[in-house]
Structure 1
């Protein structure tokens, strides 16, 4: 499994189907190689030489798509960075290489003007991949110790996006492109995913289409998928060997899997293995935040029992029928009661938890009844408006019409 090799004929066949292998990773929807004169034109825009690995990549493919996970620490958060595109000239929309180079030139010129300094006209950081306008990957193209380094940039989101990055952030991925490709990984086995949405889904659909509609040999497709799946991270072996606690990034992958599968027993095993539950797990969210927000209530209860920290605003993440026992445990371990959480519990069909939070609010000196009416009516209006738009076909919602109607009924019948 770990020593999968392709013959020149197999690589040629994959190339015909838009698949290129580079630095032990799979690029699909791959474009033809970048012409030498085009590489030279990009070189002319840079403050220093193009890094050799990037030139080698472009000599294989001018761009394409990737389907891996990439997680980086950024501004104190643990951020998932979307590196799904390799920019190329002539593409539509956000994947256009020359378009992003021109954008970077404009930003560099503006920054120099704002600083009152002349701009050399040369780029120090070359954008060559990312996802739409929100995530970008750069290589350093100015001479010096950092030359060739690969850096990720992520756009900050408005404060309403709970636990998201709220200011633009950047983080180094690796000293060079080969190291950056090595950092691309799969947190879950795409052939046995833990959820409905997972990295690998797009690639598997692409390969299935190449087999079904374009004649790619099934054995070669399976071989390519097996090669691709070598990027799946193995946290089970270090867990069994009692070394996982020494690999915090890998331990976070195991913890995210436990929450995704709502596996309380795995939480117990991780705790026994000395894995730390401190610090952010996803964005700025603690493990308990993530578990509650994903309705992984068994995992959340196990985390609290294991001493995992509970954020003051943990109750704002409730979006399901949380049991009163877990609600009590969260309140007893640092979660602060608030009226919005009462309304959420009522809407989700968790009246016992709603009453527990209401009692805690009263003990904290909050005048619950008028605040509850205001928040409840606001949520009812939002739900009813969304349902009306779904009924006339102008909108969609993850709960569906039945789920929205159920929440409306819960709110209308709940009494403090």
Structure 2
């Protein structure tokens, strides 16, 4: 029997007094009182179809609150909208924001600040998302995005998970508020807190267990997490083991990044070289890792077809070896985007020259020379 089914009505009431509600085996923090019929009817009146059953069921458990789990991919979901919330908009504000002539088909019900929003399709009940694109250089894919996410709100909550056990890892990216809220409850209600703790831990993605059981390659979310962890830490033995179990070491695992991209982001050059030996694609390696590569590795990546963009040059500027910057910038096509680097290049050249004059450091003097040459080259429209 799961912890969710072992929570009786008294347990749920005690949890509710602590601001915790449970829906589809996931905890909602700062839980609001359930929606009333009048408000539900008022929301429905703004929509092209009825409020989907699963969303109405959620609202009858908690009409608003905070979410402290993770979704697969880059979508963030931290807030359930409600009337009178103090976010960028409350529920009515988001409805007004989306309102076009006629009634809403897609009903906004949660998201993250103004960047990510989740909607329930009033025709089908499906959950879809919209995500605002970040500025150039922040991510591989630019521009706003929208797509389906789950068959309904219950299935969406089933996708909420934790990549780490917040009681075992104090630096976990999510779950700290869940842990602290439950620990606060444990002082007065240890039995209920224990059930809630078990429920949270049941949502932890246990990729090591799947690896040991031989089922990891067939579990996409666990597989991607394992590849991410191996590449981030530079664990070549784990990467080898993942490959042996059928995992694709060229699979995009996070924000479009593949394991070699992630290894380079984290400066794990040995792991990156190991992956190069497997002939994995290197398209985005300099966009993500120009700050960390050696000159020899940069030459290899360029020869293999690594893309050079403005953000690759931006990373190379931060590389300690000026030869890396020379190699990368020489492949940058002339453009207004490239010329945007010129003021920074000149500033850094002046700083490097000043540091060289004070210290006599020849490497710093070489860096100043390279930075000036590249600023002049880009200003003159050179490239390629």
| TM-score, length-scaled by structure 2 | 0.78
Q: In the alignment, is the contact (CA less than 8 A) between 1:95 and 1:129 conserved in 2?
A: no
Q: What secondary structure does 1:162 align onto?
A: coil
Shift in Å at residue 102 of structure 1? 1.0
Q: Secondary structure of the residue that 1:80 maps to in structure 2?
A: coil
Is the Cα–Cα contact under 8 Å of residues 70 and 184 in structure 1 kept in the other structure?
yes
Q: Structure 1 residue 174 and structure 2 residue 150: aligned?
A: yes
C-alpha separation in 2, matches of 1:273 and 1:66: 34
Mean Cα displacement is larger for which, 13-22 or 176-185? 176-185
Query: Is the aligned partner of 1:377 residue 2:346?
Result: yes
Q: 1:189 — aligned with what?
A: 165
Name the SS of the counterpart of 2:114 in structure 1.
coil
- Aligned residue for 2:237, secondary structure, equals helix
1:115-169 deviation per Cα after TM superposition (whole angstroms, max 9, x unaligned): xxxxxx2211111111111111111113xxxx211111111223332314x2222
Counterpart in the other structure of 1:393: none
CA distance in 2, matches of 1:234, 1:125: 34
In 1, Cα distance between equivalents of 2:301 and 2:191: 51
In structure 1, how many angstroms separate the alpha carbons of the residues matched to 2:276 and 2:160?
32
Instruction: Tell me, yes or no, if structure 1 residue 268 matches structure 2 residue 256.
Output: no
- Aligned twin of 1:389: none
Partners in 2 of 1:344 and 1:411 — Cα distance?
18
1:198 to 173, 177, 182: 173
**Distance in 2 between the 1:242 and 1:6 partners?**
33
Q: Aligned runs of 1:45-56 on 2, under 5 Å?
A: 45-56=46-57
8 Å CA contact retained: 2:286, 2:306: yes
Aligned length: 354
Does residue 223 (structure 1) correspond to residue 171 (structure 2)? The answer is no
Matched, 1:89 2:83: yes
Q: Report the Cα distance in structure 1 between the residues aligned to 2:98 and 2:18, rounded to whole angstroms.
A: 33
What is the aligned partner in structure 2 of residue 396 from structure 1? none
Change (3 A) 1:55 1:263: same
Confirm or deny: 8 A CA contact 1:89 1:97 kept in the other structure. yes
| Distance (Å, rounded) in 2 between the aligned partners of 1:151 and 1:247 | 22
Distance 2:104 2:311 in 1: 49
In structure 1, what is the Cα distance between the partners aligned to 2:63 and 2:3? 27
Superposition map of 1:263-412 within 5 A? 263-311=235-283, 313-318=284-289, 322=293, 326-327=297-298, 329-331=300-302, 333-335=304-306, 344=315, 347-349=318-320, 351=321, 354-355=322-323, 358=326, 376-379=345-348
The one of 122, 142, 154 aligned to 1:141: 122
Cα distance, 1:92 vs structure 2: 0.8
TM-score, normalised relative to structure 1: 0.73
Structure 1 gaps of 5+ residues are 72-78, 110-120, 384-407
Q: Which moved more, 1:4-13 or 1:28-37?
A: 4-13
In structure 2, C-alpha distance between the alignment counterparts of 1:137 and 1:80, rounded to whole Å:
13
Greater CA drift, 170-179 or 218-227:
218-227
Aligned to 2:92: 98
Q: Is 1:258 matched up with 2:258? A: no
Indicate conservation of the 8 Å contact 1:343/1:376, yes or no. no
- The 3 A distance-change label for structure 1 pair 331 and 61 is same
Kept in 2: contact 1:337–1:357 (CA 8 A): no
Can you give the 5+ residue segments of structure 2 that lack an aligned partner in the other structure? 334-338, 353-360, 371-384
8 Å CA contact retained: 2:120, 2:126:
yes
Distance change (3 Å), C-alpha of 1:202 and 1:307: farther
Quickly say closer, same or farther: Cα 1:409–1:88, change in 2 above 3 A.
farther
Deviation at 1:328, TM superposition (A): 5.6
